[in-house]
Amino acid sequence: MDKPVSLTNDIFWVGVNDHKTELFEAIWPLPHGVSYNAYLIRDVKTAVIDAVKNDFAETYLSGIREVLGGKPLDYLIINHMEPDHSGAVGKLLETYPQMRIVGNARTAEFLLHFYGIGRNVTVIKDNDTLALGRHTIRFLLAPMVHWPETMLSYEEQANILFSGDAFGGFGALDAGIFDDEVDVHFFEDETRRYFSNIVGKYSAMVQKAIARLAGLDIAVVASTHGPVYRRNPRHIIELYSSWSRYKTQEGVVVVCASMYGNTRRMADALARGLSEENVREIRAHDVSTTHLSFIINDIWRFKGIVFAAPTYNGRLFPLMESVVEFLENENIKNHVVGLIECHAWSGGALPVMEAFAEKSGLEVIRPVISARCSPTEAEFNACRALAANMAQALRLPVA
Ligand code: FEO
C-alpha to C-alpha distance for 309 and 316, rounded to whole angstroms: 7
C-alpha to C-alpha distance for 14 and 34, rounded to whole angstroms: 14
In DSSP terms, 342 is beta-bridged to: 310, 371
Atom of ligand 1 nearest to the CA of 164: 1
Contact in structure between 182 and 45 (CB atoms under 8 Å): no
Q: Whose CA is nearest to atom 3 of ligand 1?
A: 82
The rounded average pLDDT for each run of 10 residues, N- to C-terminus, in the chain (399 residues) is 92 98 98 98 98 98 98 98 98 98 98 98 98 98 98 98 98 97 97 98 98 96 98 98 97 98 98 98 98 98 98 98 98 97 97 98 98 98 98 83
Which of 202, 274, 295 lies closest to 244, judged by CA? 202
Distance 145 CA to ligand 1 centre (A): 9
Q: Which amino acid does the sequence have at 340?
A: I
pLDDT number for residue 396? 83
Q: Whose CA is nearest to atom 2 of ligand 1?
A: 82
Atom of ligand 1 nearest to the CA of 168: 1
Contact in structure between 354 and 340 (CB atoms under 8 Å): no
Local structure of 393: helix, strand or coil:
helix
Atom of ligand 1 nearest to the CA of 36: 1
C-alpha to C-alpha distance for 198 and 115, rounded to whole angstroms: 24
Distance 165 CA to ligand 1 centre (A): 5
pLDDT number for residue 377? 98
The strand pair at 369-372 and 363-364 is best described as: unpaired
**Pocket around ligand 1 at a 6 A CB cut-off:** 80, 82, 84-85, 146, 165, 224-225
Distance 168 CA to ligand 1 centre (A): 9
C-alpha to C-alpha distance for 153 and 120, rounded to whole angstroms: 19
Local structure of 305: helix, strand or coil:
strand
What are the backbone dihedrals phi and psi of residue 96, each rounded to the nearest 5 degrees, phi first?
Answer: -125, 75
Q: How far is C-alpha 85 from the geometric centre of its chain's CA atoms?
A: 15
Distance 81 CA to ligand 1 centre (A): 8
Q: Count other C-beta atoms under 10 Å from residue 113's C-beta.
A: 10
Q: Is the pTM of this model over 0.95?
A: yes
Distance 27 CA to ligand 1 centre (A): 13
